[in-house]
Structure 1
Amino acid sequence: MLSPLDTDLASVTVLHAVQPGDGGVARVVVDLVRAQRAAGLRVAVACPPGTGLSAAVRADGAETHDWRAGRDPGPAVLRETRDLARLIRAVRPGLVHAHSAKAGLCARLAVRGRIPTVYQPHAWSFEAVEGRTAAVARRWERFGARWTDRILCVSEAERRTGEEAGIAADWSVVHNGVDTDRFTTGGPPGNPAPTVVCVGRLCRQKGQDVLLAAWPGVLAEVPAARLVLVGDGPDEEPLRSAAGPSVRFTGAVADTVPWYRAADVVVLPSRWEGMALAPLEAMAAGRPVVVSDVDGARESLPPAHQPLCLVPPEDPAALATALVRLLGAPGLRHRLGREAHEHVLSRFDVRRTGAAVADVYRELAGVRGAEHREPIAK
């Protein structure tokens, strides 16, 4: 972590511009804000009001500003950009750190290079869409890079995806981290029935529909198995309609730790990611994970686990096979869980992430906008 005596950064105000205000992105930002405030930085957060992120940073005593921004682009972008520009002028940060596509769009349009700007995609916008919309998103990311002093990726795979899309930028890769003390568990769950847990927003990205398509194949081999979907989201109704009696929906939960501890196996069949947080949290809790082979997945798993725990995206048969293999082998699950826990302790502790992000800030803290750059939007 940063030292409170780190005077080269103590005078820098960091503004985190964030949308969405929930899910993994919010958890990453909460951890960063806590670390930076403990180090003596002045930290401000602009995020949608009424979200988990807004509540968490306010409870921690961080400077918080309501920024009413939706998830998707559209006609509201102009208003959202103007609102964020006003917040930036009020806060007067020395560095802006924009998280995810919407905040990355509005912050870079508002600042246009006048203040050192870090953009953290948390998975690329063009992966979430198809056709003409994806082409427009790629063009924007290429254009927006000119107003970005550093693009901060959470995996080497995410960086490569950006480069392959033609985005020319100064890159840094800082893996996501988790609070290993919070997620550490005392041992196996001891469930009466084999239990699979999926933690994530109920949406197309996270692939719960693929998991439900795979689930009959799991039940054919392990009839007593139970599946728990933790979270809420726009796809909840169709997912509930497709689920059988062995599937439980928890809705949104304030604390995911008990659900990781209740799992025999944790699964996340995403269609795209930067580096998903839920598998890291599950491994910190000593649980084996099964994940789809998207950006960040290989980097997050112990190499020896990849043949057992990585499956192709959108492949229900392969997903069912991997889950059946682990559910039928308690000894293997225990070994994988123990190895996963040690792996996260050594490589994905949130303190390492905080220190690495501070190094990026330190590099940029003395950067001034070039004379030809435009002023903040009004």
Structure 2
Amino acid sequence: MPRILHVSQPVDGGVARVVTDLAVAQAAAGMDVHVACPGEGPLPRALAAADGGVRGHPWAASRSPGPRLRVEVAELRRVVDAVGPTLVHAHSAKAGLAARIALRGRIPTVFQPHAWSFEAVGGSTALLARLWERRAARWTDRIVCVSEAERARGRRAGITGSYTVVHNGVDVDHFSPRAPREARDRLLPGPFARAPLVVCVGRLCRQKGQDVLLRAWASVTARVPGARLVLVGDGPDAARLREGADASVTFAGAAGDAADWYRAADVVVLPSRWEGMALAPLEAMACARPVVVTDVDGARESLPRAGRAHGLVPPEDPAALARALVALLRDGDLRDALGRRGRRHVLDHHDARRAADAIDVVYRELLGVAPTKYRECTTT
């Protein structure tokens, strides 16, 4: 039975959900699963609440590289030595940085970027990030990308090595099309419960592009009177976004479970500037809601082919975003058709169980015959 150590920073958002779903599924399949991550946040809470036998190990790490990196690497090395994993799976840029410096190829290592770090920055910082990823590839047994587009971007950046694409998956039993009217009545007061409703679920930050959505929103309300926009999430841009919003926009804050928000929506939108493959559109489609997303890495692959004309717009284009939202808000039959098509697409291609099975294939390829003896774990 392999002993797997997942290393994750951040502990919120889509990465946290992917790690939680994967770790719980692996534990249920009989693997000995451990997760090293900061001790506060949705990820450690979800792992503690899950009845799946996953063992958590606090790892005090900030979201971005900084002066504490050497200490963070040393702390992670101590966790690795105590756990004694047969394979380490590092999630996103910071964990990938610390884990590969700590391990330097001593243990089979999987790195999953969940969007490349050099997309989030510019200038010399982006250059340094690309140079690091090229160097770190020699300490990486497999790079797991969540879309073909993400893999292609990595190769174009000169990051060589062995790649596997495993599309993100979601819990299709939890995210399902149940009673949208009841969800809306619970979430929205009075007359707003019957208003045309657009929902955006995501961290309030530059990556997710809510500022572009707010620039588009005036055009939407001018053409669809009474339309409401709800931003579900929190983040560093919350205060600035509130300043640019009018009374038709509601800030709902972070939601531990956004399923009812998806069900309540007429349309779900995510105007990201970059992604690997965002979970929010997949979750919304699993709830049979139509989605509008920007044509960034992974977005095209996440949509059913027949629905892309209605749901895919250029990034950083408020006018195109407004046109797509207005067209869907005005056409209930089209929304229903796209919702049904999206649900079927997620069932066929983005079930979290399918993703876990694909990761299991990667592990088996790297480990061969799983070891049967390993020393006892000594951390708590």
The TM tier, using the shorter chain, reads: over 0.9
Contact 1:188 1:264 (8 Å CA) reproduced? no
| Number of the residue aligned with 1:99 | 91
Whole-angstrom CA distance in 1 between matches of 2:369 and 2:257: 39
Whole-angstrom CA distance in 1 between matches of 2:76 and 2:143: 20
Whole-angstrom CA distance in 2 between matches of 1:62 and 1:353: 18
Listed one character per residue, the Cα deviations across residues 329-376 of structure 1 (whole Å, up to 9, x for unaligned) are 0111011001101111111111100000000000011499xxxxxxxx
Q: 1:330 to 1:187 in 2, by over 3 A?
A: farther
Query: Cα RMSD over matched residues?
Result: 1.2
- Asked whether 1:52 is paired with 2:42, we answer yes
* TM-score between the two structures when normalised by the length of structure 2: 0.93
| Number of the residue aligned with 2:174 | 182
Whole-angstrom CA distance in 1 between matches of 2:369 and 2:75: 25
Whole-angstrom CA distance in 2 between matches of 1:310 and 1:292: 6
Whole-angstrom CA distance in 1 between matches of 2:161 and 2:220: 44
Deviation of residue 187 (structure 1)? 5.3
Name the count of aligned residue pairs.
358
- Asked whether 1:205 is paired with 2:207, we answer yes
Whole-angstrom CA distance in 2 between matches of 1:332 and 1:298: 19
Unaligned runs of 5+ residues in structure 1 are 1-10, 369-378
Whole-angstrom CA distance in 1 between matches of 2:294 and 2:152: 18
Q: 1:208 to 1:367 in 2, by over 3 A?
A: farther
Deviation of residue 101 (structure 1)? 0.1
Whole-angstrom CA distance in 2 between matches of 1:48 and 1:116: 23
SS in 1 for 2:173: helix
Contact 1:155 1:275 (8 Å CA) reproduced? yes
SS in 2 for 1:202: coil
Q: Indicate which of 102, 117, 132 corresponds to 2:124.
A: 132
| Number of the residue aligned with 2:356 | 354
| Number of the residue aligned with 1:85 | 77
| Number of the residue aligned with 1:376 | none
Whole-angstrom CA distance in 2 between matches of 1:87 and 1:34: 20
Deviation of residue 186 (structure 1)? 2.8
Alignment of 1:1-378 (within 5 A): 11-60=1-50, 61-186=53-178, 188-189=180-181, 191-366=193-368
Whole-angstrom CA distance in 2 between matches of 1:367 and 1:324: 55
Unaligned runs of 5+ residues in structure 2 are 185-192, 371-380
> Letter of the aligned partner of 1:253 in structure 2?
A
Whole-angstrom CA distance in 1 between matches of 2:149 and 2:179: 32
> Letter of the aligned partner of 1:36 in structure 2?
Q
Identity of aligned residues (%): 64
Contact 1:116 1:367 (8 Å CA) reproduced? no
* TM-score between the two structures when normalised by the length of structure 1: 0.93
Whole-angstrom CA distance in 2 between matches of 1:62 and 1:151: 23
Whole-angstrom CA distance in 2 between matches of 1:155 and 1:76: 32
> Letter of the aligned partner of 1:108 in structure 2?
R
Deviation of residue 228 (structure 1)? 0.3
Whole-angstrom CA distance in 2 between matches of 1:73 and 1:238: 25
Whole-angstrom CA distance in 1 between matches of 2:341 and 2:369: 42
| Deviates further, 227-236 or 74-83 | 74-83
Whole-angstrom CA distance in 2 between matches of 1:254 and 1:155: 26
Whole-angstrom CA distance in 1 between matches of 2:261 and 2:211: 20
| Deviates further, 167-176 or 181-190 | 181-190
